[in-house]
C-alpha cells in the first residue's frame, strides 16, 4: 500500500492507495470512528457498484453503516442537496468529533465535505474517492463546494478530511471517458514541476487507461504526493503556490462555460485542452519552446483527450471565450492570474496577461 501524508499544520492526514481498499474500507476507517455506527453519503451509481461490499466491510468490524444515496451528476452540488445532506446528518445525530464518510466522485466529495464543514460548526469526514479525478485531485486538499446559479464551486469552504482511501479498482466500474478525463489532472502534476513524471506519463499513460493496476497505483500515488506537497505549502491558496494546481483550468473553465458545463466537454477534458492552450500560448509568448508545447499536445491528443479547439466547433469568437474568464473565481482585483510554462515541469503564475491577447490567441487556435 502507498501512503502519502498531507502535512497540514494542526490537521495532518494520510492518503492510502491500494487496489482492493474499498473492500477493506471498514477496517481502515474503524480507528477514526468513536461509535459503532457511521453515516455514509454516496450517489446512486456508486451505491449500485459498491454498497454491498463497503457495508460488509464495516459490518466485519462491528460498525453499522447508514446510507444517504443522492442522485448522480453535477446537478447534485446544489443548495437543495446540501440542505438535504445536512438535515440527514443531524437526524443521524452526528457529533463534532465524529467522522462521516463521503464515498464517490468529486460531486459527492465536494458536497459532503461542505456539509461536514457546517454540521455542528464542523465535523470530521473521510473521503473515499471512486473516480480518477477525485483520487488524484478533489479528495485531497480540503476544497469543498457547491454550484449556484452564479457559477461552479463559488460557494464552499476549506475543510480537510481525516483520512482518504483511494482504490484504483473503483475505476473499473466507470466509463473510460471519465477516467481519461481524470487523467488530465495526472499529466498536470508532471507539467507543474516534475518533468520526469511527465516522461513517466508518456510511457505509461496508455497502460493506466487500459487498467494496469501498478500504473494506476503509481499515477495516483505520485499525483497525491505532488498535491500534498503543494497543499502543505499553501493550504488556502494565499501565497501563489496552490494556484499552480490550476494549470489548464482558466482556459478549461472558459471552454466548459461556453459548452454549457455539459457532456460536450467534461471538466477533465476542458483541463486537458486548457493545458494544451496554456502551453501553446506560452510558446507564442516566447516563454517555452514550440517543441515542448507540441510534445504536450502530442501526449494529450495521443491518449484520446481533446488537444485542439477545432473539434469543439464553437460558435463564438476568441474575445467572448476570454470574457468567460472575467467570472473566474481566481479574479484578483480586476486581474486574472494565469498559469503559464517556461518548459515541461516549469509552470509559473503570470499576473500580467492581457485578456485581449488571450482573445486574439484563441481566434488563431479556432482557425488552426
Ligand atoms: N483542484 C485545485 C486545488 O485543489 O487547489
Predicted confidence (pLDDT) at residue 332 exceeds the cutoff of 80: no
Are 250 and 328 contacting, i.e. CB atoms less than 8 angstroms apart?
yes
89-98 mean pLDDT:
98
* CB atoms inside a 10 Å sphere around CB 12: 13
Answer with the residue of higher pLDDT: 215 or 367. Answer: 215
Q: Give residue-wise pLDDT tens across range 164-206.
A: 999 999 999 999 999 999 999 999 999 999 999 999 999 999 9
Q: Cβ–Cβ contacts within 10 Å for residue 307, how many?
A: 22
Query: What percentage of the chain carries pLDDT values higher than 70?
Result: 99
244 exposed, middle or buried (CB, 10 Å; 0-12, 13-18, 19+)? buried
Cα separation, 337 vs 350, in Å, equals 6
**Tens of pLDDT along 236-286?**
999 889 999 999 999 999 999 999 888 999 999 999 999 999 999 999 999
Q: Where are the beta strands (DSSP E) in the chain?
A: 2-6, 13-17, 37-43, 64-70, 99-104, 124-129, 143-148, 151-158, 163-166, 338-341, 347-350
Q: Residue 313: pLDDT above 90? A: no
Closest CA to 288 of 277, 272, 301, 299: 277
CATH 3.30.479.30 fits 177-366, yes or no: no
Strands (E) in 183-259, as ranges, are none
Task: Convert the pLDDT of each residue in 36-78 to its tens digit.
Answer: 999 999 999 999 999 999 999 999 999 999 999 999 999 999 9
The string of pLDDT tens digits covering residues 209-249 is 999 999 999 999 999 999 999 999 999 999 889 999 999 99
Span from the CA of 247 to the centroid of ligand 1 (angstroms): 10
CA of 61 to the centre of ligand 1 (A): 34
pLDDT at 333 over 80: no
Q: Does domain 2-173 fall into CATH 3.40.50.1970?
A: yes
Task: Write out the residue limits of the CATH 3.40.50.1970 domain(s) in the chain.
Answer: 2-173
Residue 143 CB less than 6 A away from ligand 1:
yes
Residue 5 in contact with residue 232, Cβ under 8 Å? no
Residue 368 has pLDDT above 90, yes or no: no
- DSSP label at residue 71: P
- The catalytic residues are 121, 143, 185, 227, 237, 242, 246, 249, 253, 267
On the question of pLDDT at 120 being above 90, the answer is yes
Ligand 1 atom closest to Cα of residue 141: 4
Retrieve residue 8's grid coordinates.
497540514
Output the pLDDT for position 151: 84
109 vs 330, residue with greater confidence: 109
Q: What integer pLDDT is reported at residue 38 of this predicted model?
A: 98
Where in the chain are all domains bearing CATH 1.20.1090.10?
177-366
Considering the entire predicted model, what is its pTM?
Answer: 0.96
Q: What are phi and psi of 343, to 5 degrees?
A: 170, 180
Q: Is the CB of 328 under 6 A from ligand 1?
A: no
Q: What pLDDT is attached to residue 335?
A: 77
Rounded to an integer, what is the distance from CA 312 to the centroid of its chain? Answer: 23
- Give the three-class secondary structure for 61: coil
**Whether the CB of 245 sits within 6 Å of ligand 1:** yes
Amino acid at each position: 500500500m502507498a501512503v502519502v501524508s498531507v502535512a497540514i499544520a494542526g490537521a495532518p492526514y494520510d492518503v492510502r492507495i491500494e487496489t482492493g481498499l474499498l473492500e477493506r474500507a471498514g477496517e481502515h476507517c474503524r480507528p477514526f470512528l468513536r461509535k459503532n455506527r457511521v453515516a455514509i453519503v454516496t450517489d446512486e451509481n456508486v451505491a449500485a457498484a459498491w454498497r454491498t461490499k463497503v457495508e460488509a466491510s464495516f459490518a466485519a468490524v462491528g460498525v453499522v453503516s447508514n446510507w444517504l444515496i443522492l442522485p448522480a451528476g453535477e446537478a447534485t452540488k446544489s443548495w437543495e442537496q446540501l440542505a438535504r445532506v445536512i438535515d440527514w446528518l443531524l437526524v443521524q445525530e452526528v457529533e463534532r468529533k465524529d467522522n462521516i464518510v463521503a464515498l464517490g466522485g468529486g460531486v459527492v466529495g465536494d458536497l459532503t465535505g461542505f456539509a461536514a464543514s457546517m454540521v455542528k460548526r464542523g465535523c470530521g469526514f473521510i473521503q473515499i474517492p471512486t473516480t480518477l479525478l477525485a483520487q488524484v485531485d478533489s479528495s485531497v486538499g480540503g476544497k469543498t463546494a457547491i454550484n449556484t446559479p452564479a457559477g461552479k464551486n463559488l460557494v464552499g469552504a476549506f475543510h480537510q478530511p481525516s483520512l482518504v482511501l483511494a482504490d484504483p479498482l473503483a475505476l473499473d466500474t466507470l466509463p473510460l471517458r471519465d477516467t481519461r478525463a481524470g487523467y488530465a489532472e495526472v499529466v498536470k502534476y508532471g507539467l507543474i514541476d516534475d518533468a520526469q513524471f511527465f516522461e513517466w506519463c508518456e510511457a505509461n499513460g496508455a497502460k493506466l487507461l487500459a487498467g494496469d493496476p501498478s500504473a494506476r497505483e503509481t499515477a495516483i500515488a505520485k499525483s497525491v504526493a505532488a498535491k500534498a506537497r503543494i497543499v502543505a505549502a499553501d493550504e488556502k491558496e494565499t501565497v501563489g503556490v496552490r494556484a499552480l494546481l490550476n494549470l489548464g483550468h482558466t482556459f478549461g473553465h472558459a471552454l466548459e462555460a461556453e459548452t454549457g458545463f455539459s457532456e460536450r466537454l467534461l471538466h477533465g477534458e476542458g483541463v486537458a485542452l486548457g493545458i494544451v492552450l496554456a502551453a501553446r500560448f506560452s510558446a507564442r509568448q516566447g516563454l517555452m519552446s514550440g517543441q515542448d508545447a507540441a510534445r504536450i499536445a502530442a501526449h494529450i491528443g495521443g491518449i484520446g483527450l481533446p488537444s485542439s479547439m477545432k473539434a469543439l466547433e464553437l460558435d463564438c469568437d476568441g474575445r467572448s471565450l476570454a470574457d468567460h474568464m472575467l467570472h473566474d473565481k481566481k479574479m484578483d482585483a480586476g486581474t486574472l492570474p494565469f498559469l503559464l510554462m517556461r518548459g515541461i515541469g516549469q509552470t509559473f503564475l503570470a499576473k500580467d496577461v492581457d485578456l485581449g491577447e488571450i482573445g486574439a490567441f484563441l481566434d488563431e487556435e479556432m482557425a488552426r
